[in-house]
Homo-oligomer: A and B are copies of this chain.
Amino acid sequence: MIGVVGAGGDVTGCLESLEATPGVEKAVRISAPYKFVSKEFRKERTIIKVGRAEIGGDEFITMAGPCSVESEKQIMETAEAVAAAGATILRGGAFKPRTSPYDFQGMEGEGLKLLAKAREATGLAVITEVMSDRDVDLVAEYADILQIGARNMQNFALLKVLGRCGRPIMLKRGLSATIKELLMSAEYIVAHGNPQVMLCERGIRTFETATRNTCDISAVPVLNELTHLPVIIDPSHAAGKRSLVPALAKAAVAVGADGMIVEVHPCPEKAVSDGAQSLTIEGFREMMRTLRGYRELWKQEREAEMPLAV
């Protein structure tokens, strides 16, 4: 896969000679400011396989778990419960980006080990956040997917290192990042060598205060028009309030997202972070039951759209 970047001008001749070059299958002119991540460059959707999950495929993938890894008991109990309810990926923060330096900063290395232990016990794959290019190797040792938080979406030094980390990346949209900027940040990772990137809409910052952020649900169909990368919704951070999460999860399925990442805690009122937006285990179970029907509808629609294979 080779992309050529230039300063515009007439490149028709150039494309033709490229195609004539041995080993070159096809040369495509791309006009968007991103290239590898665009649908013009690659028509088939990217599918990322992690554990038993195929992100970008037929199933709606659920990543669930606590905001922060707090203790062995907490993460093991949650992992087992979310696995039983249908999640295939375990989330849990070991390195925590906190607005205040006086808030809990995460269990760090210890937290990573607990996540790995929960994976062994449950077969769930693990996603966790990495906050610094210095920690990429360490986190990649334990996690199946590296999460880049909203506040690091344009941490370009980090993005470059992710290109060489050998793990799939979930890149969260910045609090006030445009969809185009999100795609360009993804392009950084792909252009530096890692094509396994999924994008995450987690709510944008607006004037509205009834929700923590504003879930930009339109971002899903917009991204599905522009890119082949999988799109994940984070209804927990978007809403900031437990009771709104199931409705946003259903909306995510309805608009064609590939999955969601959702906060679940065995005892939200005791959570060290994000308790207000964490589902209880029972609440998560119930939500998972209602989502199935929605994905079935989505599959039927997709089949109806597809030409019959002969």
Contact = CB atoms under 8 A, between A and B. Distances in A.
A204 interface: yes
A74 interface: no
A178 B217 contact: no
A211 B204 CA distance: 14
A110 to B, nearest CB: 18
Contact of A218 (B34, B207, B244, B250): B244
Nearest to A249: B254
B207 A34 contact: no
Chain copies in the assembled complex: 4
A158 B135 CA distance: 12
Contacts of A243: 221, 225
Interface stretch (A53-61, A65-73, A293-301): A293-301
A33 B33 CA distance: 29
A248 B181 CA distance: 22
A133 interface: yes
A187 B181 CA distance: 28
A210 interface: yes
A248 B297 contact: no
Interface residues of A, number: 72
Contacts of A206: 204, 206-207, 214, 216
A214 B211 contact: no
A191 to B, nearest CB: 5
Contact of A175 (B176, B180, B220): B176
A160 to B, nearest CB: 8
Contacts of A97: 154, 156
Given A33-B102, A184-B101, A214-B214, A208 B178 contact: yes
A154 to B, nearest CB: 4
Contacts of A121: none
A204 B210 contact: no
B215 A217 contact: yes
A219 to B, nearest CB: 8
A206 B214 CA distance: 10
A144 B257 CA distance: 38
A158 B45 CA distance: 35
A152 interface: yes
A255 interface: yes
A253 interface: yes
B221 A216 contact: no
A205 interface: yes
A121 to B, nearest CB: 30
Given A135-B157, A221-B244, 9 more contacts: A131-B155, A179-B210, A180-B210, A210-B222, A211-B218, A217-B251, A221-B248, A250-B254, A294-B297
